[in-house]
């Protein structure tokens, strides 16, 4: 596609507004309200979020993961601990999340520290996953190179024969993380690119709220 076409792609947002005087004083409650609206609006994969990490050479990497919990003022997701993102989080526990609900013209950015969930919590969630998702986690040494897709499918079939439903063990290298926020920004699209940006920053135990220029 030519640059001229890309440069002409634009939307003028006008669905809603966001004012710092009207948001909940607790950013987690405000996030919960927005997530409920995203679910009710049938936004595709409303819990999909970009996870950005930094490697040992200070190079950033991002990918989409799924939010699977809001507990103890933290955002929870699950993955393979020896994947690229797992290794990066081991080296540098700082991470950033970003939700984009385009249908609602909204975005939420979250910056914070990451820590692993206790194994028993990861185990409890793993046992709730669909049977084939459990097998998939066991079959995939995430981020490792494989010769072809047939290699993965063969491994999956072998595990399917080995482990009946309800008997799949959680991989030792798989589990959950919690992102403990230090800053959360809510973005609402507005006309003429004068978007609303409301940011919560944690100072001690208090969340300070401020409006940012778009």
3-class DSSP state of 31: helix
Angle, CA 63 vertex, CA 59 and CA 69 arms, to 5°? 120
Residue linked to tokens 């679910």: 39
CA proximity to 79, closest of 174, 178, 170, 179: 174
Residue linked to tokens 């507990």: 71
CA distance 127 to 134: 8
3-class DSSP state of 12: coil
CA distance 156 to 161: 9
CA proximity to 74, closest of 106, 16, 28, 119: 28
The residues carrying an active-site annotation are 193
């Amino acid at each position: 596609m030519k640059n001229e076409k890309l440069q002409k792609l634009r939307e003028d947002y006008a669905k809603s507004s966001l004012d710092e005087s009207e948001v909940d004083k607790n950013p987690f409650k405000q996030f919960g309200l927005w997530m409920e609206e995203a679910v009710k609006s049938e936004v595709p994969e409303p819990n999909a979020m970009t996870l950005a990490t930094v490697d040992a050479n200070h190079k950033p990497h991002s990918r989409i993961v799924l939010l699977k919990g809001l507990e103890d003022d933290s955002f929870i997701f699950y993955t393979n601990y020896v994947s690229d993102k797992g290794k990066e989080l081991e080296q540098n526990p700082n991470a950033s999340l970003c939700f984009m609900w385009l249908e609602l013209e909204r975005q939420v950015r979250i910056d914070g520290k990451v820590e692993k969930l206790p194994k028993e919590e990861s185990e409890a969630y793993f046992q709730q996953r669909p049977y084939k998702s459990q097998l998939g986690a066991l079959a995939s040494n995430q981020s490792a190179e494989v010769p072809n897709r047939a290699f993965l499918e063969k491994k999956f079939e072998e595990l399917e024969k080995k482990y009946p439903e309800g008997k799949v063990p959680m991989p030792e290298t798989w589990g959950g993380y919690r992102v403990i926020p230090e800053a959360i920004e809510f973005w609402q699209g507005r006309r003429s690119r004068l978007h609303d940006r409301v940011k919560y920053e944690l100072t001690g135990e208090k969340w300070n709220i401020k409006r940012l220029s778009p």
